[in-house]
Amino acid sequence: MMPTLVDCIGQTFILSYKENTEQLASFLSIAGCQVEVLRQIHRSEYTHYSRSYLCLLNHRKAWERALLSDKPTLIVEADFVPVAPFAQLPPPFDPADPQLGIAWLYTCAAQIYNITDQGYAEGYSTAMVAYVVTQQSAWQLIELAESVQTNPGPETYTPWDSGIEYYLRDRNFHNYVPWRNYGEHGGIPNPEHRQNNLSTTHRADVLYGPLAFQPPYGDSLKERAYGRVKGIGRLLLNKYLRAPVLSGAAHPGRLLRFALSRQLTLRL
């Protein structure tokens, strides 16, 4: 039998500040994850820190804990809403890959570069709503956090999550995106995104199944329709699978089948 995602990970961390995490933690625990909530404690020096940097600090705490596990570590933010069949889903990464860098369970602005012989998609994503890292890649991400602290510094907005794929790939890691999303980003827009001319809302384009519980954003039908339409639009506009990548691929048929098949569902 093929292993499930839960079989392939060790510890699971939920990153939170003041959010209620009981429902998420209970669901993931029942799914078989070894769950721990890492709650950020406010300090006086944080007053002038950007939200993006405070978020980075929370993720860094999880990366430091990932150094202690021989198995990959699952990290999710408090507003992640898993799909109901989460426990039965396969890993989005090759469990035998010694160069696993990061594997997203939830994608934003995703692109695919390659489909491996085993059928896994290597590619790009941003947003750190739900993902898997290893000891080795966690070391590299801690170094990235150190560089952000030095330049531009804690008080400046930094889209550090947008550069993680490039950062790890430049260090010979393989980064994976899922065939479909393992859950939804249920949170409200970050005001720093609007202030920096970035997309204010991101939702999963296509899910593996129905959500396990109601997202915090409320009107799920409207939000799910938004994510689905945007995802189909990115596919049609060659943003999910870019023309230069397809034309230069050793196996273009694999890329096309992966990109098209994931959207062949009526489910929002």
Question: Residue 193: what pLDDT?
Answer: 46
Task: Judge whether 95 and 108 are in contact, CB under 8 Å.
Answer: no
Domains recognised in the chain with CATH numbers: 5-261 (3.90.550)
What's the CA gap between 132 and 71, in Å, rounded? Answer: 10
Q: Average the pLDDT over each of 136-150, 212-226, 235-249 and give the range with the smallest value.
A: 212-226
What are the C-alpha distances in Å from 216 to residues 12, 53, 111, 268?
21, 23, 27, 17
pLDDT above 80 for 200: no
Helix or strand (DSSP H, E) at 255: helix 252-261
- Report the candidate in 202, 191, 256, 252 with the shortest Cα–Cα distance to residue 52: 191
Confidence band of 198 (pLDDT split at 50, 70, 90)? low
CA angle centred on 110, ends 108 and 116, rounded to 5°: 140
Confidence band of 199 (pLDDT split at 50, 70, 90)? low
What's the CA gap between 153 and 62, in Å, rounded? Answer: 20
What's the CA gap between 260 and 235, in Å, rounded? Answer: 8
pTM of the model: 0.95
pLDDT above 70 for 197: no
What's the CA gap between 11 and 75, in Å, rounded? Answer: 9
